[in-house]
Amino acid sequence: MEKIILTGDRPTGRLHLGHFVGSLRRRVELQNSGEFSKIFIMIADAQALTDNADNPEKVRQNIIEVALDYLSVGIDPEKSTILIQTQIPELCELAFYYMNLVSVSRVQRNPTVKTEIQMRGFEKSIPMGFFSYPVSQASDITAFKATTVPAGDDQAPMIELTREIVNRFNNIYGPTLVEPEILLPESAACMRLPGTDGKAKMSKSLGNCIYLSDSPKEVKKKVNSMYTDPEHLTIDMPGHLEGNCPFIYLDAFATDEQVRRYLPDYDSLQALKDHYTRGGVGDGTVKKLLINVLEELLVPIRERRAYWEQRIPEVYEILRKGSEKARETAAQTLDEVRAAMKINYFADADLIKSQAAKYGK
Ligand code: ATP
Ligand code: MG
Which atom of ligand 1 is nearest to 202's Cα? 27
Going residue by residue through the chain (361 aa), what tens digit of pLDDT does each one get? 899 999 999 999 999 999 999 899 999 999 999 999 999 999 999 999 999 999 999 999 999 999 999 999 999 999 999 999 999 999 999 999 999 999 999 999 999 999 999 988 888 899 999 999 999 999 999 999 999 999 988 899 999 999 999 999 999 999 999 999 999 988 887 888 999 988 778 988 788 999 999 999 999 999 999 999 989 889 999 999 999 999 999 999 999 999 999 999 999 999 999 999 999 999 999 999 999 999 999 999 999 999 999 999 999 999 999 999 999 999 999 999 999 999 999 988 888 899 999 998 6
**Three-state secondary structure along 10-41?**
CCCCCCEHHHHHHHHHHHHHHHHHCCCCEEEE
Minimum-distance ligand to the CA of 48?
1
181-183 and 148-150 strand pairing: parallel
- Ligand 1 contacts CB of residue 214 (under 6 A): no
CB atoms near residue 141 (< 10 Å) = 28
CB 13 within 8 A of CB 60: no
- Ligand 1 contacts CB of residue 205 (under 6 A): yes
Ligand 2 centroid to 107 CA: how many Å? 16
- Ligand 1 contacts CB of residue 228 (under 6 A): no
The closest residue, in CA terms, to atom 16 on ligand 1 is: 19
Ligand 2 centroid to 287 CA: how many Å? 27
- Ligand 1 contacts CB of residue 203 (under 6 A): yes
The closest residue, in CA terms, to atom 7 on ligand 1 is: 203
- Ligand 1 contacts CB of residue 222 (under 6 A): no
- Ligand 1 contacts CB of residue 192 (under 6 A): yes
Q: Which of the 8 DSSP states describes residue 101?
A: G
For 136-199, list the strands marked E by DSSP: 148-150, 181-183
- Ligand 1 contacts CB of residue 201 (under 6 A): yes
Minimum-distance ligand to the CA of 10?
1
Q: Which residues of 250-277 are buried (b: 16+ CB within 10 A; e: fewer)?
A: bbbbbeeebbeebbeebeebeebbebbb
The closest residue, in CA terms, to atom 8 on ligand 1 is: 204
- The answer for residues whose C-beta is within 8 angstroms of residue 200's C-beta and 6 or more apart is 194, 206, 208
